[in-house]
């Protein structure tokens, strides 16, 4: 009941404060959304049936088929890109994940309430609430949705679940897009939600040491950021850019192990740190 009430509050808030747009004018914010109140691990199968796509659990697939397509060619560190980072994004299914989490500050209380009620109710975005939540690890599965006529990949999907509870942490769609704010493509991640979605747009920056940072912030209007979307009639949407910033730093440590520090900030206040260890199978 608490989850249902909070979902009603969120949808009301979006209707009142969100900007009404036509998705044909904002194609970079178009993406899959939930029809029912539950997303879960069956969503990809339901979406494929609706869109007449073929579902393939990819044993050698990646989130981005051409990782270089989302990197600014004018990046001063372009030639320094660590090839192992590129390999991970193009061959994600070849890696297993170990994950740790740590929450910070008073804002984490409200985030945990939302996760413990709304996220559990829709079985999506069940971000670990404690370090022990990932004690048995996190599963990682790459799912390709293909055109039945051409066998071309239409969507690359990454399904991650807590092995301890089988809850869906992330059921996302990965691609790249052009935004009005930047001349080069960005990484686009869509997380379907009931009657809408969360769309995260991230710009890619190569660091001096060859590691990569994917950054979603409010530095650009109509550019990288965290967008909450609600579906209205036809092609119309309500959108709200949330002051949630994310930095995903993918790097190789001193022992040659590939790792990721995923940091969340709300209005520049540190909220959550997820740390991933990626191990080649």
Q: Which residue has the tokens 């990197």?
A: 71
pTM given for the model: 0.95
pLDDT band for 103, please (50, 70, 90 cuts).
Answer: very high
**Long-range contact list for 24-27, CB < 8 A, 24+ apart?**
24/235, 26/237, 26/239, 27/177
Query: Which tens digits make up the pLDDT trace of 184-210?
Result: 999 999 999 999 999 999 999 999 999
pLDDT band for 236, please (50, 70, 90 cuts).
Answer: very high
More confidently predicted of 68 and 59? 68
Residue 148, class by beta-carbon neighbours within 10 Å (0-12 exposed, 13-18 middle, 19+ buried)? exposed
* 3-class secondary structure, 18: coil
Work out the angle at residue 127's Cα, subtended by the Cα atoms of residues 139 and 63, and round it to the nearest 5 degrees: 50
Query: Which tens digits make up the pLDDT trace of 131-186?
Result: 899 999 899 999 999 999 898 899 999 999 999 999 999 999 999 999 999 999 99
pLDDT value of residue 250 = 98
Q: How far is CA 112 from the centre of its chain?
A: 19
Tell me what the mean pLDDT of segment 103-124 comes to.
94
pLDDT value of residue 176 = 92
d(CA 36, CA 23) in angstroms, rounded, equals 21
pLDDT band for 58, please (50, 70, 90 cuts).
Answer: confident
Query: Which tens digits make up the pLDDT trace of 1-48?
Result: 888 899 999 999 999 999 999 999 999 999 999 999 999 999 999 999
62 phi-psi bin (left φ>0, alpha ψ -120 to 50, beta other): beta
256 phi-psi bin (left φ>0, alpha ψ -120 to 50, beta other): left
pLDDT value of residue 114 = 94
Tell me what the mean pLDDT of segment 82-93 comes to.
97
Beta bridge partners of 258: 252, 278
Tell me what the mean pLDDT of segment 71-75 comes to.
91
Tell me what the mean pLDDT of segment 84-99 comes to.
96
Total residues found in the chain within this entry: 281
Average pLDDT, the chain: 94
pLDDT band for 77, please (50, 70, 90 cuts).
Answer: very high
């Amino acid at each position: 009941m608490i989850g249902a009430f909070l979902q009603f509050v969120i949808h009301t808030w979006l209707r009142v404060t969100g900007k009404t747009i036509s998705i044909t004018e904002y194609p970079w914010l178009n993406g899959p959304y939930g029809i029912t109140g539950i997303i879960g691990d069956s969503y990809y199968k339901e979406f494929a049936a609706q869109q007449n796509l073929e579902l393939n659990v990819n044993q050698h697939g990646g989130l981005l088929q051409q990782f270089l397509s989302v990197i600014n060619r004018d990046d001063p560190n372009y030639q320094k890109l660590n090839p192992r980072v590129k390999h991970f994004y193009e061959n994600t299914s070849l890696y297993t994940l170990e994950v740790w989490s740590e929450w910070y500050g008073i804002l984490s209380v409200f985030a945990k309430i939302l996760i413990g009620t709304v996220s559990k109710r829709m079985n999506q975005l069940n971000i670990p609430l404690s370090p022990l939540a990932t004690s048995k690890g996190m599963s990682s599965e790459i799912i390709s949705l293909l055109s039945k006529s051409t066998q071309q990949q239409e969507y690359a999907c990454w399904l991650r679940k807590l092995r301890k509870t089988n809850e869906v942490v992330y059921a996302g769609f990965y691609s790249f897009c052009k935004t009005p704010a930047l001349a080069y493509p960005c990484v686009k991640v869509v997380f379907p939600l009931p009657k809408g979605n969360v769309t995260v747009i991230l710009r890619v920056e190569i660091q001096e040491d060859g590691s990569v940072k994917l950054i979603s912030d409010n530095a650009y209007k109509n550019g990288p950021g965290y967008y909450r979307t609600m579906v209205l009639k036809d092609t119309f949407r309500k959108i709200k850019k949330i002051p949630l910033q994310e930095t995903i730093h993918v790097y190789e440590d001193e022992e040659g192990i590939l790792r990721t520090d995923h940091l969340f900030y709300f209005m520049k206040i540190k909220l959550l740190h997820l740390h991933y260890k990626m191990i080649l199978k």
